Amino acid sequence: MCACAGRCWHEMALRRCWRFAGVVPRMIWKSTVLPGASVPGGRGFVSSLINTHPGCKTTVLLPRRFSSEPAGTDVSYEELKQLLAARKSVVIDVREPWELREYGFIPGSINIPLGQVNTALQLAPEEFKEKFGADMPQQEDHIVFSCLAGVRSRNALKAATSLGYNDVQHYPGGWQDWTKNEQHK
């Protein structure tokens, strides 16, 4: 209980959530939040509930993001450069072919548009090579997905994970971050 003796909106909302008691313990983490503090991963709604009563110091349970992704799925520009130089990863650009022609691409990447990723990763290796001009990544290979700004690459990562690819990451900065960093060199 917080110092507000049950009058806080956040406590009332949490009590309603406990009906999902079998699921909630896996989905939440415990954090002490002081009024005015930022809430990691919190949204405006959560923050406004926590800051309802000024001066209230309380332990609040906050929901985590739901995700089937493994932890540590993001790759930075520097990490991607190292992976490409060492040839330790398969980099798959999930933008449309016209985007690569018009704007450019990361050298060494394979172009598989997002709409084809699920099907492509289930092809026979010979079919994959014929269609995409590269060896098909195996389920144990390290794969990094890239796109323009990280949205489509995250979706591709989820698709690959659902197909059993475990060593997958994505480059959230995408082509925009790549060109910015390459111009500074």
Active site residues: 147
Give dist(CA 95, CA 100) in Å, integer: 7
Beta carbons of 54 and 35 less than 8 angstroms apart: yes
Which residues are paired to 29 by β-bridges?
A: 62
Beta carbons of 92 and 156 less than 8 angstroms apart: yes
Helical pair 174-183 and 77-86, crossing angle rounded to 10 deg: 80
Q: What are phi and psi of 19, to 5 degrees?
A: -65, -15
